[in-house]
């Protein structure tokens, strides 16, 4: 690299031009590293599984308006009809849907009393078919039995005495050993006792942005309420054909209510993460366009500086420089500018990340990403300068003898 010193001296004659590209590279680096970081953060959230058999499940709302309506009997009829339908694996009534954004939560604590710490958990009111219908995995203890299920009046404040919790909730309640939670009695509504009879591997809460999203609890309640949801699991591949059939059957069986808002769990997941998805697509577009713009900026400036130096390049060629040496000159020049830009960019990326951490509670960035940004920009810079440098190398030595 004999000519490095020479290149630097030449660059110093046009400081501002070089500095502008360096700054542009620095800002690009700052932005793309942080954008990719945000994309990864969202992607990892979207990859979390809900614990539910999302492919084969859907749900609907059941709004009762008829007068003198026997809610208990009607629910039993509905569930019996659904469970007997060909293609349906199982069905339950449920108060909230995982990932849907709307649901119930409550505090559970290991010691009774108003001033004791409690841990928030999502509440799913279901019967003994829940594990089968949702497609959950019970890793310890047992399911509810049919006799455990109680009717819950609207506005009722007491709880049944048995519950099934997720491993995450068990771990929050008993941090030393989640398995020890099995059979333990804990407290809900500050002082009502409930006993943990089973532990689930996983079941997410309705709120994907909540830090306790893995904490859920199944409560053996059937709700005597005029508005409720029915959740249905079908045999693999039969969901789409069964959805309209279920709606029609239920609606025709009983005219005292409205069956509506049919939605598959897959659609729920899509809606739940719609904003994540949208933001990711936008950020990806930003990363790509920005890289292209920076690339084109480098190309444009290189072409211009080469045009201005046509005569000098011709002279160098006439004095015996090879084509490769001419190309190398411009590539090394770009490398020097890129390195300065990338160094500033590293500082920028970390500062922007610090600001994001402070303002939006994001996690701090990792070193791999910064290295990735460094490599990408070096490659982009070299690729961008390749075409102009090749053009420069094709300048004929005869140019030196001509006046412009």
Q: Which helix H or strand E contains 339, and what residues bound it?
A: helix 323-360
Spatial contact of 153 and 72, defined as CB atoms under 8 Å apart: no
d(CA 207, CA 99): 6
The yes or no reply on residue 20 touching other proteins (CB under 8 A) is: yes
Spatial contact of 55 and 98, defined as CB atoms under 8 Å apart: no
The yes or no reply on residue 147 touching other proteins (CB under 8 A) is: no
* Closest approach of other proteins to the CB of residue 227, in Å: 7
Strands annotated E in 49-205:
57-64, 88-94, 104-109, 119-126, 138-141, 150-153, 162-166, 185-188, 192-200
d(CA 249, CA 157): 34
The yes or no reply on residue 48 touching other proteins (CB under 8 A) is: no
Per DSSP, what are the bridge partners of residue 368? none
CA 186 vs CA 193, 219, 324: distances in Å: 6, 13, 77
Window contacting other proteins (CB under 8 A); options: 22-30, 49-57, 325-333, 372-380 = 22-30
The yes or no reply on residue 293 touching other proteins (CB under 8 A) is: yes
d(CA 373, CA 210): 31
User: Which of 1, 5, 44, 67 is the binder for other proteins (CB under 8 A)?
Assistant: 67
The token pair that represents 35 in the structure block: 């954008």
Residues 206-265 binding other proteins (CB under 8 A) are 226-227, 258, 260
The yes or no reply on residue 281 touching other proteins (CB under 8 A) is: yes
* Closest approach of other proteins to the CB of residue 192, in Å: 8
Phi, psi of 90 (to 5 degrees): -165, 165
The yes or no reply on residue 24 touching other proteins (CB under 8 A) is: yes
d(CA 126, CA 149): 8
The token pair that represents 400 in the structure block: 């030196």
Window contacting other proteins (CB under 8 A); options: 2-10, 19-27, 132-140, 214-222 = 19-27
* Closest approach of other proteins to the CB of residue 200, in Å: 26
User: Which of 4, 43, 45, 63 is the binder for other proteins (CB under 8 A)?
Assistant: 63
Strands annotated E in 175-293:
185-188, 192-200, 216-224, 227-234, 257-264
User: Which of 111, 296, 357, 379 is the binder for other proteins (CB under 8 A)?
Assistant: 296
d(CA 159, CA 217): 12
* Closest approach of other proteins to the CB of residue 97, in Å: 16
Number of residues that bind other proteins (CB under 8 A): 59
Spatial contact of 128 and 145, defined as CB atoms under 8 Å apart: yes
For residues 49 and 347, which CB has a smaller minimum distance to other proteins in the complex? 347
Residues 161-200 binding other proteins (CB under 8 A) are 189-190
The yes or no reply on residue 12 touching other proteins (CB under 8 A) is: no
Spatial contact of 84 and 75, defined as CB atoms under 8 Å apart: no
User: Which of 201, 238, 263, 271 is the binder for other proteins (CB under 8 A)?
Assistant: 271
Print the binding letters for residues 344-363 with other proteins: x by CB under 8 A, - otherwise.
------------x---x---
For residues 21 and 332, which CB has a smaller minimum distance to other proteins in the complex? 21
Spatial contact of 246 and 82, defined as CB atoms under 8 Å apart: yes
Residues ≥6 apart with Cβ < 8 Å to 326: 313, 316, 317, 389, 392, 393, 395
Start-to-end CA span in the chain (Å): 31
* Closest approach of other proteins to the CB of residue 367, in Å: 22
In which residue are the tokens 């990864």 written? 40
For residues 158 and 401, which CB has a smaller minimum distance to other proteins in the complex? 158
* Closest approach of other proteins to the CB of residue 25, in Å: 9
The yes or no reply on residue 403 touching other proteins (CB under 8 A) is: yes
For residues 130 and 219, which CB has a smaller minimum distance to other proteins in the complex? 219
For residues 165 and 337, which CB has a smaller minimum distance to other proteins in the complex? 337
Phi, psi of 161 (to 5 degrees): -95, -5
User: Which of 4, 70, 193, 274 is the binder for other proteins (CB under 8 A)?
Assistant: 274
For residues 106 and 382, which CB has a smaller minimum distance to other proteins in the complex? 106
Residues at the site binding other proteins, with contacts judged by CB under 8 A = 16-17, 20-21, 23-24, 27-28, 30-31, 34-35, 38, 61, 63, 65-67, 114-115, 153, 155-158, 189-190, 226-227, 258, 260, 271, 274-275, 277-279, 281-283, 286, 289-290, 293-294, 296-297, 299-301, 303-305, 307-308, 356, 360, 403-404
């Amino acid at each position: 690299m004999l000519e490095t010193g020479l290149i630097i001296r030449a660059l110093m004659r046009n400081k501002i031009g070089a500095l502008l590209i360096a700054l542009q590279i620095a800002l690009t680096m700052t932005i793309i590293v942080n954008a990719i970081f945000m994309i990864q953060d969202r992607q990892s959230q979207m990859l979390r599984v809900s614990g539910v058999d999302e492919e084969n499940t859907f749900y609907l709302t059941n709004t009762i308006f008829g007068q003198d309506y026997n809610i208990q009997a009607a629910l039993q009829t509905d569930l019996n009809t659904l469970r007997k339908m060909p293609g349906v694996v199982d069905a339950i009534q449920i108060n909230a849907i995982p990932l849907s954004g709307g649901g119930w939560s409550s505090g559970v604590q290991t010691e009774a009393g108003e001033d004791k710490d409690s841990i928030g958990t999502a509440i799913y009111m279901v019967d003994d078919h829940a594990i089968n219908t949702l497609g959950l995995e019970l890793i310890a203890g047992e399911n509810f039995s049919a006799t455990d299920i109680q009717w819950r009046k609207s506005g009722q404040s007491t709880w049944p005495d048995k519950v099934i919790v997720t491993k995450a909730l068990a771990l929050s309640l008993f941090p030393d050993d989640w398995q020890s939670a099995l059979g333990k009695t804990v407290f809900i509504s500050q002082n009502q006792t409930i006993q943990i009879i089973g532990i689930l591997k996983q079941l997410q809460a309705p709120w994907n942005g909540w830090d306790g999203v893995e904490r859920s609890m199944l409560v053996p309640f059937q709700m005597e309420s005029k508005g409720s949801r029915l959740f249905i699991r079908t045999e693999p591949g039969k969901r789409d054909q069964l959805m309209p059939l279920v709606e029609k059957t239920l609606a025709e069986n009983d005219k005292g209510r409205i069956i509506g808002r049919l939605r598959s769990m897959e659609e729920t997941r899509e809606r739940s993460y719609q904003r994540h998805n949208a933001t990711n697509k936008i950020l990806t577009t930003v990363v790509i366009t920005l890289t292209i713009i920076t690339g084109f900026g480098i190309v444009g400036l290189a072409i211009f500086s080469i045009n201005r130096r046509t005569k000098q390049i011709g002279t160098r060629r006439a004095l015996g420089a090879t084509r490769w040496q001419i190309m190398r000159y411009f590539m090394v020049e770009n490398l020097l500018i890129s390195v300065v830009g990338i160094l500033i960019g590293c500082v920028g990326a970390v500062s922007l990340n610090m600001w994001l951490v402070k303002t939006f509670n994001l996690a701090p960035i990792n070193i791999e990403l910064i290295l990735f940004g460094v490599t990408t920009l070096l490659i982009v810079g070299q690729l961008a300068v390749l075409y102009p440098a090749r053009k420069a190398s094709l300048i004929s030595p005869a140019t030196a003898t001509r006046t412009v």
